[in-house]
């Protein structure tokens, strides 16, 4: 039931449904396919598409390779349509992108930072405000992925950087006595692993999976359970910190305050420690990439610890699929034998008979950024969001932005977008 009780409410509901379908399919399905998918009458679909085009939300292009006869068109993002600003903040750099309806990404800025809250988030806030001013009402929201647990309200803790209860919205949009405009509505702040899992459920290998487990490996490891396409974030927003569970029998103290955390044995920091190099504080990405590419012993140790932890979580959570992103993809590609050999003995007999499929992410390093985008469009693709759009006169906004001297992400370990 959609709750619509009048023709006006039903039309608003169907406008959202159609835009959501275009976004979720990556703007690849024809109008006739979308009409069937949504069980709409052909005339209703035509009226909806025309109205959304008039509002600057959709634009149709001829379908590639369309046969002769009745022309076939594919609804996609309007050239002056809404844009989600998405940010992936990592331990040593951040990346800012503009994302169209359908998921096309234009990277706007990539910058290193010093690992402090002020050094990372101050310049990021300035960049966000500058792009919002340039894009005007086309910028419908800001989503930010961060490598640590995020509590409701945007407070983040990143133990290995020394961040404790950092108020991310306040640092992104400080009160400067009028010198800088705050982010309208405030940014949507989320954990990078949870957002990567959200993207994997929308656009990757967890799509259509009822219960999945997603693990993201960067300097250390994070994980989250995904049920019916949604990461479970706990009562306070910071649940599913699987990386801070003692799953591998270690006894090293973790910067989070616990002892023997799984994340101490998996990720770039563990690779660096294994070969005797300095680690921690977001340092050593290039060295860790080199170790990952050259040290079979360090990779095998990482993969073994990853496999043991996966077995414990599979026993507890019973996922259908386990997906790996970040360095997890490379660990699986380079040492799947060691990973599976460590995982299988830890499985209960009933799990071993039908173990879940383990797969590298379909999105590579892009998941957290795309998840930040999804969080913005989830807020926008509502009747209220579309009403605000109509009131903002988007026809006066500039065209789709070009990358600002950045044609793709330059962060180490990240695939071009």
Number of C-alpha atoms within 13 angstroms, CB side, residue 247? 30
Residue 67 is predicted with a pLDDT of 57
Give the separation between CA 376 and CA 100, rounded to whole angstroms.
11
CB 160 within 8 A of CB 280: yes
Give the separation between CA 16 and CA 385, rounded to whole angstroms.
9
Whose CA is closest to 205, among 20, 363, 413, 29?
363
Q: List Cα–Cα distances, 278 to 158, 269, 281, 284, in angstroms.
A: 19, 8, 10, 7
Residue 395 is predicted with a pLDDT of 57
Domains of the chain: 7-77 (1.10.10.10), 83-193+366-396 (3.30.420.40), 208-362 (3.30.420.40)
Sequence length of the chain is 417
Q: What angle do CA 146, 149, 153 make, to 5 degrees?
A: 85
Whose CA is closest to 218, among 276, 166, 289, 155?
289
Give the separation between CA 308 and CA 285, rounded to whole angstroms.
25
* β-bridge partners, 259: 253
Give the separation between CA 155 and CA 149, rounded to whole angstroms.
8
- pTM confidence score: 0.91
Neighbours of 103 (CB within 10 A): 22
Q: Which helix or strand (DSSP H or E) is residue 111 part of?
A: strand 105-112
Whose CA is closest to 411, among 86, 107, 85, 104?
107
DSSP letter at 117 equals: H
* Residue segments in the chain with a per-residue pLDDT below the cut of 70: 1-4, 65-71, 174-185, 393-417
Residue 234 is predicted with a pLDDT of 85
Give the separation between CA 312 and CA 305, rounded to whole angstroms.
11
CB 85 within 8 A of CB 139: yes
Q: Where are the beta strands (DSSP E) in 136-182?
A: 139-146, 150-151, 155-158, 163-167
Whose CA is closest to 328, among 309, 351, 354?
309
Residue 393 is predicted with a pLDDT of 61
> With left for phi above 0 and alpha for psi between -120 and 50, is residue 414 left, alpha or beta?
beta
Q: In the chain, what is the straight-line distance between the N-terminal and C-terminal CA atoms, in Å?
A: 38
CB 171 within 8 A of CB 117: yes
């Amino acid at each position: 039931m959609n709750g619509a009780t009048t023709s006006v409410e039903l039309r608003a509901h169907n406008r959202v449904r159609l835009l959501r379908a275009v976004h979720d399919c990556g703007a690849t399905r024809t109008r006739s396919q979308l009409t069937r998918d949504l069980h709409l009458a052909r005339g209703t679909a035509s009226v909806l598409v025309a109205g959304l085009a008039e509002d600057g939300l959709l634009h149709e292009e001829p379908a590639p390779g369309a046969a002769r006869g009745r022309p076939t068109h594919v609804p996609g993002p309007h050239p002056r349509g809404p844009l989600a600003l998405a940010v992936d903040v990592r331990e040593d750099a951040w990346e800012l992108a503009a994302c169209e309806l359908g998921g096309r990404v234009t990277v706007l800025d990539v910058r290193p930072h010093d690992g402090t809250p002020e050094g990372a988030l101050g310049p990021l806030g300035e960049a966000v405000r500058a792009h919002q001013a340039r894009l005007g009402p086309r910028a419908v929201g800001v989503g930010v992925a961060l490598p640590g647990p995020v509590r409701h309200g945007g407070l983040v803790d990143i133990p290995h950087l020394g961040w404790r209860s950092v108020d991310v919205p306040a640092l992104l949009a400080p009160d400067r006595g009028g010198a800088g405009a705050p982010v309208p509505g405030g940014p949507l702040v989320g954990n990078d692993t949870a957002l990567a899992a959200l993207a994997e459920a929308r656009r990757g290998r967890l799509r259509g999976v009822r219960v999945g487990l997603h693990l993201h490996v960067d300097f250390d490891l994070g994980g989250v359970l995904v049920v019916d396409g949604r990461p479970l974030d706990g009562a306070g927003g910071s649940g599913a910190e699987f990386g801070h569970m003692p799953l591998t029998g270690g006894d090293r103290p973790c910067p989070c305050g616990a002892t023997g955390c799984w994340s101490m044995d998996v990720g770039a920091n563990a690779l660096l420690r294994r070969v005797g190099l300095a680690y921690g504080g977001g340092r050593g990405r290039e060295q860790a990439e080199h170790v990952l590419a050259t040290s079979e012993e360090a990779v095998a140790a990482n993969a073994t610890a990853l496999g043991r932890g996966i077995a414990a979580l599979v026993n507890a959570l019973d996922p259908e699929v386990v997906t790996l992103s970040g360095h997890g993809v490379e660990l699986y590609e380079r040492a799947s034998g060691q990973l599976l050999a460590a995982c299988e003995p830890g499985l209960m007999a009933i799990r071993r008979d039908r173990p879940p499929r383990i797969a590298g992410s379909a999105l590579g390093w892009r998941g957290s950024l795309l998840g930040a985008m999804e969080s913005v469009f989830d807020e926008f693709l509502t009747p209220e969001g579309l009403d605000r759009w109509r009131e903002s006169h988007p026809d006066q906004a500039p065209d789709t932005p070009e990358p600002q001297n950045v044609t793709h992400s330059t962060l180490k370990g990240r695939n071009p977008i």
